[in-house]
A and B are shown apart, each in its own frame.
Chain A
Amino acid sequence: MMIKVVSSAALPVTENLMIQKNRIEGAAEPCGKRVCIVTGTHGDELEGQYVCARLAKLLADGRQSLSGVVDIYPALNPLGIDSIIRGFPMFNLDMNRIFPGSASGSLAESTAYDIVKDIEGADICIDIHSSNIFLREIPQVRVNEQSEEALLPYALMLNVDLVWIHAAATVLESTLAYALNACGVKTLVVEMGVGMRITESYCEQLLAGIMNLLREIGMWRGAAGKVRSPEVSKDRSVGFVNSDAAGIFIPRVAHNSVVNAGDVIGSVLDPLTGMTVENAVAPCGGLVFTLREYPVVFGGSLLARIMGALQ
């Protein structure tokens, strides 16, 4: 175990903003490979914290079975995690919109630059997110359609329930995953669970997936359980359920369950009058892979996403 400071910059009063990583070097015969696990870009997403904690211990204890290097970066936005702030504190910016950063830019941009430079040269990077405080997600890998060919084989190793291949958008060119994929680091974005909470079962599921991936690419000789094969969104429709009314949302289906078209996903109630102001129905049958967790809704709030049948 070796703790390294990847980026450091002075804050106004006394302390420094520091991005740290834990480098675990395998004791088995070297293979020259390096895998990076990064999380904590959004300060309110904590599922990755537990994955990092478990992984660091597991690999440190199993160094004899590890070859190559695993770098664990648990907090790309440490001030945000410390203060439950999603964005980069003191900047009105989402940290995942400023990559690849710039050496001569502002503190946020130069921190982003330091992070990319440090990861550059790695074979694979896994960037763990956990939705936000509003929505709960089943463990999934999100892949930009442009990098589907390069990434799908690795996404299938990660023991997730779903691989969502989404359309490219220019705005996403400023994410960490885009910047890393552009410089040759195969980067997989994992979304799972919900903001401000840790879902232990999901973390264990992804951990098993990471160990499986390490074994598949020849870095891990220890045990790794059997992994599930995920649904792949390709050629499937995704149904969105949004509220039109405002009030409190009470779900009527379980997260990660299968529904039929027309089923009531949940109700929106007006606590002042006691009336049900909306019964939100499923636009298609399929798996409820996203379900609203935060009860207060406005007109337009996302309530659920459903992975439909093959088209």
Chain B
Amino acid sequence: MIKNVVYSIKSPYRRSMDIASYTFGSGEKTCCVVGALRGTEIQQMAVCAQLVDTLRRLEGKGRMAKDGSVTVIPCANYYSMNIGKRFWTMDNTDINRMFPGYNLGETTQRIADGLFNAVKGYTYGVHVTSFYLEGEFLPHAKIMRVGDAAEGAYDSLADFGLPYGLIRTPHPYDTTTLHYNWLVWGCKAFSLFTTYTERTGTRSTQAAVNAVLRFLAARGIIEHSLHKGSHTHIMQEEDMTHIHTASAGVVKNRVSVGHEVNEGDLLCEIIHPLEGYSVERITAPAAGTVFFSYNKQLVMERADVFKLVPF
């Protein structure tokens, strides 16, 4: 294992923020795994940390391929993490909206640039990340429909052995993410979403670590006997059924992620915040698996509360 500092940024009163990378194996740059870019992505960092620990043991046992390497960058924003903030400490910008970065730009543009230089040139990239909607997801891998690199990589979604693999048509705001820019630079890049963001959850962390290990084993870069995981259902993200609220109030969920529901089943109830009666009962428009569930108590009108994968 080789530990490096891939980029440093200075602050007035804190020691410089040094972004650490861990490289295993040698030779060809096979795969790069990036974790937390936001201060709330604790599970994303934990997944990468456990991956570092596992790869170190595999390397110690001589179970890394001779001509390939894996680099893991668990956390590129511990300044924000240590003060409990999601975005950048000073100007609240999002590092994952700054790629490919700019070396003469603002602080987060420079971080993105420094990081991108370090993660460029790998054949495969995996970004363990979180979604802007607050809630719980079934663990899944995603790839954006961007250029030739993506074209040949859709099938590889199955190598993670997670129940779902999504193909996303990018929106303009996706074009400054790490995932998108990796693809533009010809790297076969994936985003990996875990169930939680701010908490770790032993089982869901392990599930994500195993997914990356399976992906690496499928590339022949590690030798690791691991159960095959799930059969992966690969689908277009837009084929998911979105369920919105029509009213606002306090939400009581009746199902959670992973549940299979039939048409008409009660998904959640919205309770009047002051008077306690039920203002809305949201039922499943069709049978399917609960893929996403909003997990806060207060809900606005027109909020995304569930996403279902139709059967």
Contact = CB atoms under 8 A, between A and B. Distances in A.
A11 B248 contact: yes
Interface stretch (A20-28, A61-69, A212-220, A294-302): A294-302
Contact of A107 (B91, B132, B303): B303
Given A11-B300, A106-B304, A298-B90, A174 B173 contact: yes
A300 B107 contact: yes
Nearest to A241: B104
A170 interface: yes
Contacts of A247: 12
B105 A106 contact: no
**Interface bin, chain A:** 35 or more
Contacts of B214: none
B11 interface: yes
Contacts of A248: 12
Contact of B132 (A12, A14, A91, A169): A91
Contacts of A246: 10-12
B299 A12 contact: yes
B273 A14 contact: yes
A135 to B, nearest CB: 10
B265 to A, nearest CB: 22
Binding site of B, secondary structure by majority: helix, strand, loop or mixed? loop
A2 interface: no
A50 B262 CA distance: 55
Nearest to B242: A104
B105 A300 contact: yes
A171 B247 CA distance: 32
A301 B107 contact: yes
Contacts, number: 110
Interface in A164-187: 169-174
Contact of B244 (A104, A170, A173): A104
Nearest to B12: A246
Interface string A274-311: 00000000000000000000001111111000000000
A203 B303 CA distance: 37
A13 B90 CA distance: 31
B9 A134 contact: no
Given A97-B173, A171-B172, A9 B274 contact: no
Nearest to A301: B107
Contacts of A14: 273-274
A204 to B, nearest CB: 29
Interface of B: 9-13, 16, 86-87, 90-92, 94, 97, 104-111, 132-133, 171-173, 175-176, 242, 244, 247-250, 273-274, 298-304
28 contacts: A9-B302, A11-B248, A13-B248, A13-B249, A13-B273, A13-B298, A86-B92, A92-B86, A92-B94, A92-B132, A93-B132, A97-B173, A104-B242, A106-B304, A107-B300, A107-B302, A110-B302, A171-B172, A240-B104, A242-B104, A246-B11, A246-B12, A247-B12, A271-B12, A296-B90, A299-B10, A301-B90, A301-B107
